[in-house]
Chain A
Amino acid sequence: AQKITQTQPGMFVQEKEAVTLDCTYDTSDQSYGLFWYKQPSSGEMIFLIYQGSYDEQNATEGRYSLNFQKARKSANLVISASQLGDSAMYFCAMREGRVDSSYKLIFGSGTRLLVRP
């Protein structure tokens, strides 16, 4: 069975510094996708970044980058130049199986990030 592990329940970072949120995964599929979502206290899940298992380069989206190490089965999120608005819960997620008209996302337990001024 597929599994996502986030080992950091909570993290602090100083404003304007970079922070890395850890995510490891376990799957026997050759084709899979990894996602990071941000969930502020308002509850909405905001899509941040995606990495496909066959993508050769690490994904980047603005201040977000994904450090993908396939052999180690890790997909860590790096947030550069942290801002106060980055304080939120962050979930790593994996798509199960091949893409069809629908697919399941399974989520890790999350990391709560607090940015200090």
Chain B
Amino acid sequence: DTEVTQTPKHLVMGMTNKKSLKCEQHMGHRAMYWYKQKAKKPPELMFVYSYEKLSINESVPSRFSPECPNSSLLNLHLHALQPEDSALYLCASSQGNLANYGYTFGSGTRLTVV
């Protein structure tokens, strides 16, 4: 199994809603990442988990809350988002000692905040 699975693929939520994005990989990768990508822009790093511990938070607003329940799962909990948070949210994983393979990305969740 050489893929990262993200669910849902599309999500529309109101500004008062609470929702979660899910990411799963079964490649044994010990690092997992959340990226945010606005239209026609490059991906921007949000969070990094290494061995299930949060290692990097790129000053992301607290309305985004990451969680890594185990080595295969990564969640992003969303609460009280703003319309400008509408974007493609990409999850990725990597195996540190094989950096020449880069990240393996999921296909993303397209989020629309209304």
Binding site for B on A (CB under 8 A): 33, 35, 37, 42-47, 50, 52, 91, 93, 95, 99-110
Contact = CB atoms under 8 A, between A and B. Distances in A.
Which A-B residue pairs are the 6 nearest by beta carbons? Answer: A102-B31, A107-B42, A45-B105, A102-B50, A44-B107, A101-B96
12 contacts: A37-B102, A43-B110, A45-B103, A47-B101, A52-B100, A91-B43, A99-B99, A102-B30, A103-B31, A105-B45, A109-B41, A110-B41
A102 B48 contact: yes
Given A33-B99, A45-B90, A102-B55, A107 B31 contact: no
Contacts of A104: 45, 48, 56
Contacts of A108: 42
Contacts of A109: 41-42
Contacts, number: 74
B92 interface: yes
Instruction: Kindly state the interface size class of chain B when it binds its partner.
Output: 20 to 34
Nearest to B92: A45
Interface string B82-114: 000000101010101101111111111010000
Contact of B106 (A44, A50, A99): A44
A43 B108 contact: yes
Contacts of A103: 31, 94, 96, 99
Nearest to A49: B102
Interface in B20-36: 30-31, 33
